[in-house]
Amino acid sequence: MMLEWPDPKEFWSNKRVCVTGGAGFLGSFVVKKLQERGVNEIFIPRKKDYDLINPDAVRSLLDDSKPDIIIHLAAQVGGIGANRSHPAEFFYNNLMMGVPLFHEAWKIGVKKFIAAGTVCAYPKYAPVPFKEEDLWNGYPEETNAPYGLAKKMLLVQSQTYREQYGFNSIFLLPVNLYGPHDNFDLETSHVIPALIRKCIDAKRMGVKKIEAWGDGSPTREFLYVEDAAEGVLLATERYNKSEPVNLGSSFEVSIKDLLEMI
């Protein structure tokens, strides 16, 4: 049977879209692709105007933007060091950025809510590449667990609100992203930009070795950020079920091999 997908321009016609985190790494590419699809009313909330941790600010955001669709990408993110130093902040802030926003969106009748999770929600020993059916088969890797579990609660909220209220929401799990405009701060960056930064700094200083986390044997799945943005919009247009969906490349690379490529 041939599936017929909605025409993107028709799907987005006359839609008001709110993209939290729309000025961030993934969000900026999502906004760019929305513009390419002809979306004219895109609302990008800034933290100084709408602190999503504050429920009153969430209500003000929805009053001001009056969205048909919300793409929730806002998050407090960081590398291994930041996650180890501030686990409570990563848990609380990421939980509170999402749960009240989701609830208020349902209350005002938003037509669709897209929540972006994280592969940090997967169990520590889940096989890579990740499969959605393994998501609840264990506890996440301890360093990333506060962040991963906070984001995972949005999946629970998405599924329960669909079951009880019929609220159309979906939950996406992007793998490790890379690409232009990434964060190269060694304290808060993820593995690819951190390794690139270390290599550049080592070359500049004439150092022949760099220090990386672990022994290089762990593997990770990576996805180019622009491909991830396209995946977010395709899921928005085409997917309307409660089961989570990975956004990935379906193959993994060891940290050692990645470092040698860089």
- Three-state SS for 31-77 is HHHHHHCCCCEEECCCCCCCCCCCHHHHHHHHHHHCCCEEEECCCCC
Burial of 4 (0-12, 13-18, 19+ CB in 10 A): exposed
Query: Does 139 participate in catalysis according to the annotation?
Result: no
Task: Determine the Cα–Cα distance for residues 145 and 122; give it in Å rounded to an integer.
Answer: 9
Residue pair 72/102 in contact by the 8 Å Cβ criterion: yes
Q: Which of 50, 122, 147, 161 is catalytic?
A: 147
C-beta neighbour count of 106 within 10 angstroms: 19
Residues labelled as active-site residues: 147
